[in-house]
């Protein structure tokens, strides 16, 4: 239902329409769409900012050539970081995001891109919409 139509109906009737719970915002990519994640394998430097405080780190994304999930390991902000990275499709437009899951239940969502030198870069936040402006920037130092 168009949101403007729902608001108009609610205003005219004096009650809000019932809305069914939405499905998950993101779903795991599958097949060739998921295996593209292997293009991101390599060593990365990390620059970040959380609550206005800068930090740095290093990460490695590793996995087999035909893997749909990469292992993530390294040190960021002086703490060990271990997790898994995979592509997901998010929202009604099915926008591809790189989702990194860390222990215990922490997530990063990244938008990867490639530069002219064929190395990957990524802009990451802790949620799909991060109003605090916290971010991590990953830059690939070495590809496998």
Predicted confidence (pLDDT) per residue in 100-130, tens digit: 998 777 888 999 888 777 788 999 888 776 6
Q: Report if residue 2 sits inside a domain.
A: no
Domain count, the chain: 1
**pLDDT above 80 for 52:** yes
For residue range 30-44, what is the model confidence (pLDDT) as tens digits?
Answer: 899 899 999 999 999
Verdict on whether the full-model pTM lies above 0.85: no
Q: Report if residue 15 sits inside a domain.
A: no
3-state DSSP assignment of residue 77: coil
Q: How far apart are CA 128 and CA 91, in angstroms?
A: 10
**Over residues 51-78, mean pLDDT:** 94
CATH number for the domain harbouring residue 114: 2.40.128
């Amino acid at each position: 239902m168009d949101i403007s139509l729902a608001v108009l109906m609610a205003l005219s009737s004096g009650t809000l329409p019932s809305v069914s719970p939405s499905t998950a915002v993101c779903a795991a990519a599958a097949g060739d769409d998921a295996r593209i994640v292997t293009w991101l394998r390599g060593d990365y430097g990390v620059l970040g900012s959380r609550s206005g405080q800068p930090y740095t780190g290093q990460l490695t994304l590793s996995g087999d050539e035909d893997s749909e999930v990469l292992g993530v390991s390294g040190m960021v902000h002086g703490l060990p970081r271990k997790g898994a990275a995979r592509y997901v499709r998010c929202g009604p437009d099915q926008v591809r995001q790189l989702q990194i899951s860390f222990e215990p239940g922490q997530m990063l969502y990244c938008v990867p891109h490639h530069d002219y030198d064929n190395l990957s870069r990524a802009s990451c936040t802790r949620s799909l919409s991060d109003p605090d402006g916290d971010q991590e920037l990953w830059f690939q130092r070495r590809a496998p």
